[in-house]
Chains A and B, each alone.
Chain A
């Protein structure tokens, strides 16, 4: 973060060559995120963020914000399906959510401040850890 400021700390202007309209790639990313979300019970961000950055060319920070927005309708649809199947444990969810909404404000505020490279590094390390854990637990 304190590193070389020479690398033009471009702030995430939505105009900076990033897609501002719905196109084939965004649709593909949304659908693949959705399928994995429903299938594995995750929000889908863990697949949407990498695709938004490496395939659609978004900056790390914009990708994180877009992913969070896309997760709203995706998780809503998935939770309705699971809810209809009687799988949701409301009490546990409420307890978790009490902490999570406070944490989300903290995390999002931090996201708005962090620069591109540390953000990439943090996300990369996070994915690496997830990958190892998933392989270990199968």
Chain B
């Protein structure tokens, strides 16, 4: 994809991803990484790194909006997130050292099971 077109495509995809991220409470990396590797042609590691740099402002903006509306507890979130950041450093170092195929599959299975549980809850719970 050529320069200008790629920028427009990235911004448009960012808009959709950001909206989904703000609604779903995720950073959006799970959508951006495949896009960056498959469409923009980045390597897996470059895609992950670039995605994280987009996740940061996305989470900041969404958190400010929610904090103003009194949803959630931002100070608490920042505190347990700071501890999570220690885990993030370990995870990133690990990712740079190994290919994560097995973990990826385990992770996918975990997500699938959670999905089934949440959908069942949403459809049955009164």
Interface residues of A (CB under 8 A from B): 4, 7, 12, 14, 19-22, 26-27, 29-50, 53-54, 61-79, 81-83, 85, 87-90, 92-93, 95-112, 114, 117-118, 120-128, 130-135, 137-138
**Cβ distance B77 to chain A, nearest Cβ, rounded Å:** 3
Question: Which B residues from 42 to 63 make CB contacts under 8 A with A?
Answer: 42, 44-63
Inside 8 A of A73's CB, which chain B residues have their CB?
78, 81-82, 84-85
Complex Cα–Cα for A90 and B83 (A)? 27
**Cβ distance A54 to chain B, nearest Cβ, rounded Å:** 7
Interface 0/1 of B7-34, CB less than 8 Å to A = 1001111111111111111111110111
Taking a contact as CB atoms under 8 Å apart, the answer to whether B72 and A65 are in contact is yes
Interface size on B, residues (CB 8 A): 100
B46, B115, B123: the one within 8 Å of A131 (CB): B115
Classify the secondary structure of B's interface with A.
helix
Complex Cα–Cα for A101 and B101 (A)? 31
Complex Cα–Cα for A72 and B74 (A)? 10
Inside 8 A of A36's CB, which chain B residues have their CB?
91, 107
Inside 8 A of B46's CB, which chain A residues have their CB?
87-89
**Cβ distance B78 to chain A, nearest Cβ, rounded Å:** 6
Inside 8 A of A33's CB, which chain B residues have their CB?
84, 87
Taking each of A14, A54, A104, which has the highest tally of chain B beta carbons within 10 Å of its own beta carbon?
A104
* 6 pairs from A and B in contact (CB 8 Å cutoff): A69-B59, A73-B78, A74-B85, A110-B22, A111-B22, A131-B112
